[in-house]
Amino acid sequence: MRPPKLSVSLLLLTITGALTLMIATLSFKDLYANINRMHQLELLRQASAFGDQMFDAAEKLSLERDLSTAALTAPNAEDANELRPRLTEVRAAVDPAIAAALANSHRYQFAELTRLRVAIAERMTRIQRLRQQTDAVLAHRNARQARALADEWPREVGALTDETESVWLRFTARFIDIDPIVTLHLRFKHLLRSIRNESAMERALIAQAIAQPAGPTPQQVAELLRAEGAAEADWHTSQAIAEQSGLMTTIARPYADARSHFATMRDMTQNLYATSGPDFHSLFPMGPDLWFELSNQASTTFQGLTSATVHASQSYLDTLTRRAQQAIVGQVVMLILAMLLCTASFWVVIVRVVGPINEIVVALLKTMRGEAVNVPATPGRQDEIGKLAQVLEAFRANTTEVRRTAEELTQNQMRLRAVVDHAMDGLITIDERGAIQSFNPACERMFGYRADEIIGRPITLLIPSLYAEGDPGDLASYVADPSAAASHEASGRRKNRSSFQMDLTVSTYVLSGATYYLAIVRDVTLRKEAELALLGYTHALERSNRELDDFAYIASHDLKEPLRGIHNHSRFLLEDNEKSLDEESAKRLHRLVYLSQRMERLVNDLLYFSRLGRQELAVQPMDMAAAVRDIEATLEHFLEERGARIVVKGELPSAVCDKPRVTEVVRNLITNAVKYNDKAEKVVEIGFVESRSRPTGKIAHNVYYVRDNGRGIDPEFHSDVFRIFKRLQAGEGAEDGTGVGLTFVKKIVERHGGEIWIESEVGRGATFYFTLEASHDDSRISPEAA
Amino acid sequence: MAPLKALRRLSLAALWMLAATPAHAQQSVRLVEQDIKAALLYNFLLYTEWPAPQQNNVVVCVYGRDPFSGRLASMVGRTVNQRPIEVRSVAEIADTDTCALLFVNAEERPHWPQLHAHLEHASVLTVSDYDGFAAAGGMIEFTRANSRIAMRINRRAVTAGNLVVEDRLLRLAERD
């Protein structure tokens, strides 16, 4: 079984929860302890009050005992009767005190207390009986009975006091763990009761001694000394405890008073022992009533100490209770604060940390999967969450960008793939070791291998010449040679081991630190064959042209001789026989001479034309403007005669050409422009433009032109004007000529690699444009030249 | 308490010596009687209210020779009503003003009128043990009735001295 996944948020919540639980547990534990302590303190306070009440009742009972004893032992009826009212008074105080203490004791479900209640009830019944007996005896003055009763009072009351004291000690034992100081208080109070009992006994003994005719008996003296010593020891201990418990600071004065009064009473009876004997009453002049009153006063002073102690002890308990209450209130406040803090922590952890982190994590996961996300809103947060949100935003933007780029890349790759797959040329990539990496369909067709069976195998399988020496380094040197970047002719080997000719271009590229080679191969078998055929045709054509030129030359040259013979013979015949010949025959002979002369001119032109095709051009720099000036000077008479003038428009740049021939071109064009001009003022304009678009749409550069203001030529005849012996306007009063001029012009221009064309319309003059070198056409439409 | 004990032992020793010599029997009677009287002074202090105590200490003065033979020394340092007791022996009348209680030695009886005149309205509780002291304007007079010590209290003198004597003290005294 796999352990449950512990996410960061769960961990945070667990820690916060555990801390909260811990704080709550600790706080509740302390709170419970304090409440418990307060409860116990309250119990202790009540128990203490109950004890005080009980002992107060016991003390009142002791007073009754003292009074009763004093009355019973009074030496005479007078003394006894003096005590009666006070006895009644005390009895009236005793009964309610005992009843109240008993009633209060019902509050505690404590077995000892229940037994004590029963015991007290029994004792009180006996005390009631003792009271009746005492009253009876006091009325009848029976000395023997009185003494017996006087002995019985201390027994009964002493037993009751002892029982109460022992039960009280066991009762308080269960509270003493609450506070050590309170334990000391209880001990101190116990000591005070002890002192009081001893003093009471002492004074009762003295009272008895006073009542006796001869003073104290030796037994009484012994008992007095024992009680005196015990009381003295108790005082001593009580002082130590009062100081130790801190009680002394509050009860110092009542304590000093009580002790002073006690000591003073001691002083009063310090010589009592020396007075026993028959003269006792004259030696110790103390009446029972005075003694009783003095004892009573000492008891009152002592009561002051007891009250002060009770009060101090109660206020100490109150302080403890108040402190416990304050502690409880403080703890409750702390608990509430701690809980609020924990709630706030929970809130912070959940709302400010876990929530945003979860949102960001979900958003990141979604972004990773390419789903649409809303970036968690963390406005103005400058903490880690805010930064995380910024990072998420950047990540999301990056991911979108990466995704888009990846798509583009894929498309590019597909496009490239298509190009590669559909390329006519074979594309092969090779690694540094010469192993084939890729192989496109064109290669498959070319070499007869499928891509999957050739990839990874050496390139030499396809192109054995690449590694003639079997060293892959050769490939690098193959590429490193700059001239090698151009294509090479190489021999490829097909799968069926047949060879074929191909063009091979090798280039290199570096990808991830590794060098690769790209070989582009093209099967040139067909092209080679075509080239060979074309070469054959060209040679045949050249031979044919040459033969034609040779023929023309030979024909014209050979034709000249018989033609001259015809001419000479015709003229000789005419000169010799002109008078003898009739008019008709003479006319025919003149015609024959004319025609033979014309025939000779035609043959000469033809001869010249054939020479143009046969002779090489003598190319040199030529100043076109100077050439035009020369022509103008040469034709001066011709121009004047016909009322024509030449205008050079702009600068005429120089050209590199066969100077005499190009001069002939220009002169020919000028004379044509003058000859075929019907205007009175004939203007021939010569100029140059950087570029000119031809009527066919092509653009020619570095164009010279010759323009006239003559009749113009119908576009229908624009191509005819350059044909040899073609004359458009023969027999219409036009200039005489053989009609070869423009044919020569065209031939010369074409021998220079240039072009010539006409732009003209009827009635608007004509312009002859020509170039002297082959200009590269491009599809761009240049601005129209002027 | 050590000095007190020592003192008591000393007095006990003296007591035995006196008991052994009958010739001094009368002396020993005086001895025990003076024990009682000296101790009773404490009760007088306890149940008398002075108008406005001038000082913290309760000053007990003895005018004339000390009739208590130094017994009052044991009172020094004790407290009554939470005030320490101081004991002085006074010879001059003028020195009695600061006393809370003034015990007049019976031998000084001739000087009483002068003393009384001086203290007429002073808050000084005057005590003595000669017969007729209360009648002569003293406040508390120790008497003997049926061979027992008793007290006579002159209430008018007490009232005149601006003092209040509580019932518990009056209870000790014989009824007028």
DSSP line for A54-70? HHHHHHHHHHHHHHHHH
- At A686, give phi and psi (nearest 5°): -120, 130
Strand pairing report for A514-523 and A426-430: antiparallel
**What span, in angstroms and rounded, lies between the C-alpha atoms of A152 and A149?**
5
Nearest to A509 by CA among A438, A461, A457: A438
Cβ(A285)–Cβ(B40) under 8 Å?
Answer: no
What phi, psi does A454 have (nearest 5°)? -110, -25
What mean pLDDT comes out for the span A156-160?
86
Specify the pLDDT at position B25: 43
Residue of B nearest to A260 (CA): B78
| A204-237 pLDDT, tens digit each | 888 888 878 888 888 988 999 998 899 999 999 9
For chain A, what percent of residues have pLDDT higher than 90?
10
Q: How does residue A55 score in pLDDT terms, banded at 50, 70 and 90?
A: confident
Residue of B29, B32, B42 lying closest to A261 (CB–CB): B42
Q: What is the DSSP letter of A348?
A: I
First-to-last C-alpha distance (Å) of chain A: 95
| Per-residue pLDDT, A732 | 45
- Each residue's pLDDT tens digit, A686-718: 999 888 888 777 888 889 999 988 888 888 888
A277 contact residues in B (CB cutoff 8 A): none
Can you give the pLDDT at residue A566? 87
Tokens 């001419």 label which residue? A567
User: Is residue A34's pLDDT more than 50?
Assistant: yes
Q: Which amino acid is at A312?
A: A
Least confident of A72-76, A366-370, A680-684, A736-740: A736-740
Lowest mean pLDDT among A301-310, A484-493, A576-585, A668-677: A484-493
Exposure of A759 in the CB half-sphere (CA atoms within 13 A): 11
- Report the b/e string of A486-499 with b at 16+ CB within 10 A: eeeebebbeeeeee
Chosen from B18, B79, B172 to mutate, greatest number of chain A CBs within 10 A:
B79
A653 or A77, higher pLDDT? A653
Q: Is the pLDDT of residue B78 over 90?
A: yes
- Asked whether the beta carbons of residue A290 and residue B11 sit closer than 8 angstroms, the reply is no
Mean pLDDT of B124-143: 92
Is the predicted pLDDT of residue B51 greater than 60, yes or no?
Answer: yes
Hey, CA dihedral for A475, A481, A486, A490, is it positive or negative? negative
Chain A residues with CB-CB distance to B15 below 8 A: 271, 274
Eight-state DSSP code of residue A352? I
pLDDT at A738 over 80: no
Asked if the Cβ–Cβ distance from B80 to A282 is below 8 Å, we say no
Which of A2-16, A30-44, A478-492 has the highest average model confidence (pLDDT)? Answer: A30-44
Judge whether A707 and A766 are in contact, CB under 8 Å. Answer: yes
Region of A734 please: left (phi>0), alpha (psi -120 to 50) or beta.
Answer: beta
Q: Which two tokens stand for residue A354?
A: 């876990």
User: A122 phi and psi, to 5 degrees?
Assistant: -65, -45
- State the burial class of residue B169 (Cβ atoms within 10 Å of its Cβ: 0-12, 13-18, 19+): buried
From chain B, the residues in CB contact with A286 under 8 A are 36, 148-149
CA dihedral B109, B115, B116, B118 (to 10 degrees): 170
For testing contact with chain B, the best of A270, A282, A299, A300 (most B CBs within 10 A)? A270
Cβ–Cβ < 8 Å for A711, A729: no
Dist CA A161 CA A158 (whole Å)? 5
Q: What percent helix, strand, coil does chain A show, rounded to 5?
A: 70, 10, 20
Of A63, A295, A268, nearest to B172 by C-alpha is A295
Question: What distance in Å separates the CA atoms of residue A192 and residue A184, rounded to the nearest whole number?
Answer: 12
What Cα–Cα distance (Å) separates residue A357 from each residue in A10, A15, A383, A386, A725? 12, 17, 12, 10, 99
Written as one letter, the residue type at A164 is T
Burial label, A678 (beta-carbon count in 10 A; 0-12, 13-18, 19+): exposed
Nearest CA in chain B to A304: B81
Amino acid at B85: I
pLDDT band of A467, cuts 50, 70, 90: low
Mean pLDDT value across residues A47-70: 84
For tokens 């010369």, the residue is: A748
CB within 8 Å: A261 and B28: no
The partner residue sitting opposite B32, judged by closest CB among A259, A275, A301, is A275
Token pair, residue A87, equals: 């006895």
Cross-strand partners of A436: A430
Task: Assess whether pLDDT exceeds 70 at residue B138.
Answer: yes
CB A640 within 8 A of CB A616: no
Q: Using CB atoms within 10 Å of the CB of residue B130, give its burial: 0 to 12 exposed, 13 to 18 middle, 19+ buried.
A: middle
Interchain pair A267, B35: CB under 8 A: yes
pLDDT tens-digit map of A433-447:
788 888 888 888 888
CB-nearest to A281 from B35, B147, B172 is: B147
Q: Which residues of A touch B (CB under 8 A)?
A: 232, 253-254, 256-257, 259-261, 263-272, 274-275, 281-287, 290, 293-294, 297, 300-301
- Listed range (A87-101, A292-306, A593-607) with the worst mean pLDDT: A593-607
> Whose CA is closest to A712, among A643, A759, A642?
A759
- Which DSSP letter does residue B75 get? G
Give the torsion sign (CA, A538, A543, A546, A548): negative
Q: Whose CA is closest to A514, among A612, A419, A430, A640?
A: A430
Residues B42, A272: C-beta atoms closer than 8 Å: no
Provide the 3-class DSSP secondary structure of residue A405. Answer: helix
Which chain A residues contact residue B147 at CB under 8 A?
281-282, 285
* Helix (H/G/I), strand (E/B), else coil: B93: helix
pLDDT at A479: 61
pLDDT bracket for residue B86 (50, 70, 90): very high
**Whole-number Å distance between alpha carbons of A446 and A463:** 12
**pLDDT of A270-284, one tens digit each?**
888 888 888 888 888
pLDDT of A236: 95
A285 and B148 in contact by Cβ < 8 A?
Answer: yes
**Contact between residue A744 and residue A612 where contact means Cβ atoms under 8 Å apart:** yes
- What type of residue sits at position A453? E
Residues 6+ apart with CB under 8 A from A614: A546, A549, A553
- Contact at CB, B42 and A274, closer than 8 angstroms: no
Report which of residues A384 and B72 the model is more confident about.
B72
Count of C-beta atoms within a 10 Å radius of residue A178: 17
Instruction: Please give the DSSP secondary-structure letter assigned to residue B97.
Output: G
Interchain CB distance below 8 Å, B42 and A260:
yes
Whether the CB-CB separation of B100 and B85 falls below 8 Å is answered with no
Q: Which residues contact A214 (CB under 8 A, 6 or more apart)?
A: A276, A277, A278, A280
Residues of A within 8 A of B38 (CB-CB) are 267-268
- Alpha helix segments (H runs only) across A643-682: 659-675
Mode of pairing for the β-strands spanning A436-439 and B148-153 = unpaired
pLDDT at A339 over 90: no
Under the banding of pLDDT at 50, 70 and 90, the label for residue A175 is confident
Identify which of A422, A313, A426 has the alpha carbon closest to the alpha carbon of residue A50: A313
Most confident by average pLDDT, A42-46, A601-605, B124-128:
B124-128
Identify all chain B residues contacting A281, using CB atoms and an 8 Å cutoff: 147-148
Mean per-residue pLDDT, B63-87:
91
For residues B81 and B87, the answer to whether their CB atoms sit within 8 Å is no
What DSSP state is assigned to residue A688? E
What is the rounded CA–CA span in Å between residue A31 and residue A33?
5
State phi, psi for A477 to the nearest 5 degrees. -65, -30
Lowest-confidence segment of A119-128, A236-245, A391-400, B167-176 by average pLDDT: B167-176
Average pLDDT, chain A: 83
Stretch A151-158: mean pLDDT: 86
Tokens of A767: 């312009």
Cβ separation A263–B4 shorter than 8 A = yes
Structure tokens at B60: 């007990």
Euclidean distance between CA atoms A502 and A508, whole angstroms:
19
d(CA A616, CA B43): 174
Closest CA to A734 of A776, A777, A690, A671: A671
Determine the distance from the C-alpha atom of residue A654 to the mean position of all C-alpha atoms in its chain, rounded to a whole number: 73
Strands B48-49 and B79-80: unpaired
Between CA A700 and CA A782 the distance in angstroms is 10
Distances (CA, A) of A671 to A392, A634, A661, A665, A765: 87, 11, 15, 10, 14
What is the number of alpha carbons within 13 Å of residue A155 lying toward its C-beta?
8
**DSSP alpha helices (H): ranges in A578-699?**
583-614, 624-634, 636-642, 659-675
Closest to A239 (Cα-Cα) out of B71, B1, B114: B1
Q: Read off the amino acid at residue A257.
A: D
